[in-house]
Homo-oligomer: A and B are copies of this chain.
Amino acid sequence: MLTTFGEYIRKHRAEKGLTLTQLAAKIGMDSANLSKIENGRRSFDEKRLKSLSQALEIDIEEIKMEYFSDLFAHKLYHSNCSSETLVLAEKKVKYLAQKSAKQGKITF
């Protein structure tokens, strides 16, 4: 199912039968702010991804994927960039990996 990150949290919170206050407490934040996050009025702090994955018992890799794809999608959407940008991004990830591998060799 396709959702924004806020919708994703809300869906999983509902599945666990947690209130905003309960989930907020589990991840150490104010329930009013969590409400804003679920409604897309505020962004979720990357540092709390791990604790969110534990509170909702979701695989951290899945949560990260939801989180970052949401981030990228919003940036793309608001900057009116072609989605070709994502293709380029994938190539650049490989370029970065290769580059740091080379640098690794040099230091030895």
Interface residues of A (CB under 8 A from B): 2-4, 46, 61, 64-66, 68-77, 79, 81-86, 88-93, 95-97
Contact = CB atoms under 8 A, between A and B. Distances in A.
A81 B64 CA distance: 7
A89 B72 contact: yes
A93 to B, nearest CB: 5
21 contacts: A2-B92, A2-B95, A61-B81, A61-B82, A64-B79, A64-B81, A64-B85, A65-B81, A68-B75, A68-B81, A68-B85, A68-B89, A69-B88, A69-B92, A70-B89, A72-B85, A73-B96, A76-B89, A77-B93, A77-B96, A86-B89
B85 A65 contact: yes
A89 B68 CA distance: 8
Nearest to A86: B86
A105 to B, nearest CB: 18
Contacts of A90: 73, 83, 86
